[in-house]
Amino acid sequence: MDQTVFERNRPAAAVVTEALRGSRAAVFWLDGLPRPEHAVLIGQQRADLVVVGGGYTGLWTAVRAKERDPQRRVIVLEAHEFGWAASGRNGGFCSASITHGEENGRRRWPDEFDTLVRLGEENLTQIEETISRYAMAAEFERTGELSVAIEPHQVEWLEPDVDGFLDADAIRAEVNSPTYLAGRWDRTGTALVNPARLALELARVAAELGVELYEHSAVTGIDRGPQLRVRTERGWVRAGQVALATNVFPSLLKRNRLMTVPVYDYALVTEPLTDAQWAEIGWRNRQGLADLANQFHYYRVTGDGRILFGGYDAIRQRSVDAVHEDRPATFRRLAEHFFTTFPQLGGLQFSHRWAGAIDTSTQFCAFYGLAGAGRIGYAAGFTGLGVGAARFAADVVLDLLGGEKTERTELEMVRRRPLPFPPDPFAAAGVAATKWSLDRADHHQGRRNLLLKTLDAVGLGFDS
């Protein structure tokens, strides 16, 4: 088996140990972020629309519902705090892609792929416009994304004969890593945001538009009568419609319980770099960065001049539980890979380490639908690329609940439900075999074995 660049060029163990020594198990984005308190739902309320879940999907749904119809009474019920889950702890890559990347979208929906690209681009532009319209302090930067080849076989994937290809010298002039063999800069398809600030600013805008926001108000069930009754431990809301935006958490709809599995993704953030350290690596254009392996890293610069470095180990778990968040072996591996990527930064410390659950679906991007005689809408399954796509999902859910036929609702991507995961232990065995195969492919010039080829052919898989 070939070795990857990270195995060939391992940093000294002491550098890694020292760098992690002072790191705290805390989400950098949420650490010390001032947040307004919101009420707990107690007693009875009435609403036209209840949104369950206060991450991006739920908050965009509330904001868009009010923008579409300011008279509508909208209530959001969040089990914990707004933006505490994936929405407050992600990498902040806000992509135009609503299909988890071009390859996945083109393969699954070849006939409508061009439309999906256009709708995704419009969605990203509308996110930018919304941020500007409401003066949202979300640190939105449309700096684009650099894809980098770090193994010889990946160079080909960057299409050396097509305009915009960056050879080793050109990519290293942008960001100076000895691991880079080639690159490509997509200048418009990705923006970077401060993810937790985006979530909290969406909550602020929702409140200013008249949405009623409740935290620590987990929904325990929905009774279906002439009106829907959305129950929490201490109260309930009678509503005409419900939008479920609970992502990877157990769905309130039985039919959706096997549609997603939690996959834990891990990240590190460094202390702010000194001017001399920045001079060593360049990166003046502040792009998001990702390598091309199956088990890939994503990394970026924060507003205060740190580097966030995440990905690679994606660990499937049976439930969302904070016990999965501290995984020393994974943080150590990430730190090793960081110093292989930037050996010039030896001596730099990590300040934060954390993890979060990604809502993996079998088609790697969101699925949508209605239940409860058309009164309950849902979207979930973004598989690690939901920062931008959540806004698109909000509009889809509102279109569906409104009974409207729109360009969005007519998409095959929206109309057709993907396959569910099999129940455990089959899901666990399948994911383990797939992960093993993906790792082998990364060690064999990207060559996919029979299992991966079969999964590709039937449109199933595992990703983050």
Classify each residue of 181-199 as buried b or exposed e, where b means 16 or more C-beta atoms within 10 Å of its C-beta. Answer: bbbbbbeebbbbbbbbbbb
Confirm or reject binding of residue 382 to ligand FAD (CB under 6 A).
Answer: yes
Does 249 sit near ligand FAD (CB under 6 A)? yes
Q: Taking the complex as a whole, how short is the minimal distance between the CB of residue 14 and ligand FAD, in angstroms?
A: 28
Residue 226: is the preceding peptide bond cis (ω within 30°)? no
Query: Rule CB under 6 A: is residue 97 a binding residue for ligand FAD?
Result: no
Distance CA 73, CA 7 (A): 56
Stretch that binds ligand FAD, among 7-15, 50-58, 117-125, 418-426 (CB under 6 A): 50-58
Residue nearer to ligand FAD on the CB measure, 53 or 369: 53
Q: How far is the CB of 161 from ligand FAD (least distance, A)?
A: 30
Which of 62, 205, 219, 308 is the binder for ligand FAD (CB under 6 A)?
219
Tokens matching residue 345: 């930064």
Whether residue 413 contacts residue 109, with contact meaning beta carbons closer than 8 Å, is answered with yes
Residue 24 or 444: the one with the smaller Cβ distance to ligand FAD is: 24
246 binds ligand FAD (CB under 6 A): yes
List of long-range contacts for 101-104, beta carbons under 8 Å, 24+ apart: 101/364, 101/385, 104/363, 104/364, 104/365
Using Cβ positions, the residue closest to ligand FAD within the complex turns out to be 386
Contact between 464 and 360 (Cβ < 8 Å): yes
**Distance separating alpha carbons of residues 23 and 380, to the nearest angstrom:** 32
Residue 183 binds to ligand FAD (criterion: CB under 6 A):
no
Q: Which stretch binds ligand FAD (CB under 6 A): 63-71, 83-91, 127-135, 427-435?
A: 83-91
Min dist. Cβ of residue 380 to ligand FAD (A): 6
Kindly tell me which of 15 and 228 has the beta carbon lying closer to ligand FAD.
228
Of 23, 57, 123, 260, the residue at the interface with ligand FAD (CB under 6 A) is 57
Sole binder of ligand FAD in the list 61, 90, 241, 287 (CB under 6 A): 90
The interface region with ligand FAD, picked from 76-84, 202-210, 405-413, 442-450 by CB under 6 A, is 76-84
Which range touches ligand FAD (CB under 6 A), out of 46-54, 128-136, 331-339, 431-439?
A: 46-54
Contact residues for ligand FAD (CB under 6 A)?
Answer: 52-58, 77-80, 84-87, 89-93, 95, 218-219, 245-249, 252, 265, 267, 310, 356-358, 382, 384-388, 390
